[in-house]
Chains A and B, each alone.
Chain A
Amino acid sequence: MPRLKLTVLQIGVGLIFLMLWHVLTVYPISGTPKQVQFFFSTPLDVLKRCWTLFASGEIWRHLWITLVETILAFLFGAGGGIIFGFLFARKELLAAVFDPYIKAANALPRVVLAPIFALWFGLGIWSKVALGFTLVFFIVFFNVYQGVREVSPVVLSNARMLGMNERQLLRHVYWPSALTWVFSSLHTSVGFALVGAVVGEYLGSSAGLGYKIHEAESVFDVTGVFAGMLILSVFVILIDMLVTMIENRFLVWRPQASLAAQT
């Protein structure tokens, strides 16, 4: 499908949705507008609220805090996941011994950890970073583990026959292979870092996008909630675009990535 046509259709879907929302909440179709607007607000009100938030400059501080939490959660989670992924993939015994514990830890719904982390790390950014960490760590860990173990045996044999020692194999074969897997999961793991940050803020904090949404909810300010959600969505899309750019830069050697970079 031509790119222009696709873009027009994508924008069209959004416009139709906004139109429906507007018509259903402003005109007395499904009840008195005032009543309906209490539950659903209106698209114009939400946009106006967003504008006020940005114009007053109030939102920047919250965006910045959420961004910092997301980045820190991602960096620590990815770092830990890479180190342990490598370690476990190269040491069979370690992987076998810890296997049930890792599965158990990963099965735990992270939301239940939020109050504990708030208790341990306080209501500042670190309890949110910790929550994001527990989400990102396992994604990166499993991907690195997989990536190191699924290195093509022929590529590996070839590198060995070239005389590479363990350190050189790590640098030229295992690491790039694992990195491919890390990048293929980058969208997911960055998304989860953000989820960790926002959920953490939502459950107890004094700043951040999650806090803004929670604040609006507690006074039944539906417009505020939707405005927060809209800002959050745009924020996520921007981060995701950044991730795609980084991905295309690092995975130029991959057939699909280089094709995507050309279009």
Chain B
Amino acid sequence: MDQATSLAAVALNDVAITFGPKVGGYTAVSGIDLSVRPGEFVAIVGPTGSGKSTILNAAAGLLKPSQGKVRIFGNDLAGLNLRSGYLFQQEALMPWKTALDNVAVALEPKGVSRSEALQRARDWLTRVGLKAFVDRYPHMLSGGQRKRVALAQVLIRDPEILLMDEPFGPLDAQTRQIMGNLLLSLWAADRKAVMFVTHDLEEAIALADRVVLLSAGPAARIIGDFPVPLPRPRDIAEVRMEPTFHHIHKEIWTSLRVEVQKAYAQGEGT
């Protein structure tokens, strides 16, 4: 095991994931080598059906790689990766619990007492701007507010790694921007390692330190790894005006466009 791999928060070595039978199944990704250092914000971008979420699920332990290894801080991953927090694209809150209970319950597996959990959940909901909505049930909140609750639910556990699967995908453009800035400001406080999956290249560049580009599926592989040397702290809206941003965007888009066209040629990548 080389130095870089052992230091990485997440390291995928030659990972391949096949759904269905070993022979004749659908290979989503193959030959994936990717490592994320502690404190690094990595965005994974690719056309639809390129297996972005599959890679994330492998890092979370929700999927077992058919081949290759996943290491978390140098240890082989067996079972779920509980050192990570996972923010889902779909609705993942428990609909039968209020915002406060949804966040507080995340501390129960850690053995935190109920009263302390409630206190800390209140603090976290305040930090994500939902102080006035603690007693609401998920269906009484807007899509953006539900994402804030989900973010608080993940962050209250203080995971060392954040895994995010197009978390702001279903939100409208303005809300996405606000959520992006909220995420960056929370992340800046204690720089966790982040794997952020998105199909939105601009979002990826605006948020990340590094953008990893996947080819079109099946058997998608990494075809580019671009550093984003934009200064921090960033504002999602303003950073898009910078010349460096345009430069990086153009560079990555040249490669991404080819893959997007391939994906569409295969029938919208399905």
Contact = CB atoms under 8 A, between A and B. Distances in A.
B83 to A, nearest CB: 10
Interface in B103-136: 105-106, 108-110
B93 A164 contact: no
Contacts of A164: 108-109
Interface in B37-96: 60, 62, 80, 82, 84-86, 88, 90-96
Contacts of A109: none
Interface string A27-67: 00000000000000000000000000000000000000000
A90 interface: no
Interface size class of B (residues with CB under 8 A): 20 to 34
A172 B86 contact: no
B97 interface: yes
Contacts of A16: none
Interface SS of chain A: helix, strand, loop or mixed? helix
B96 A255 contact: no
Contacts of B97: 172, 176, 253
B27 interface: no
A229 to B, nearest CB: 39
Contacts of A165: 109
B153 interface: yes
Contacts of B88: 154, 157-158
B157 A159 contact: no
26 contacts: A152-B91, A154-B91, A154-B92, A155-B91, A155-B92, A155-B95, A157-B88, A158-B88, A158-B92, A158-B93, A161-B80, A162-B153, A163-B157, A164-B109, A172-B97, A172-B105, A176-B94, A176-B96, A176-B97, A179-B96, A180-B96, A253-B96, A253-B98, A253-B138, A254-B139, A258-B137
Per CB-CB distance, the 8 closest pairs between chain A and chain B, nearest first, are A163-B109, A158-B92, A253-B137, A176-B96, A161-B86, A154-B90, A253-B96, A255-B139
Given A157-B86, A161-B85, A172-B94, 7 more contacts: A154-B91, A161-B62, A173-B94, A180-B96, A253-B137, A258-B137, A258-B140
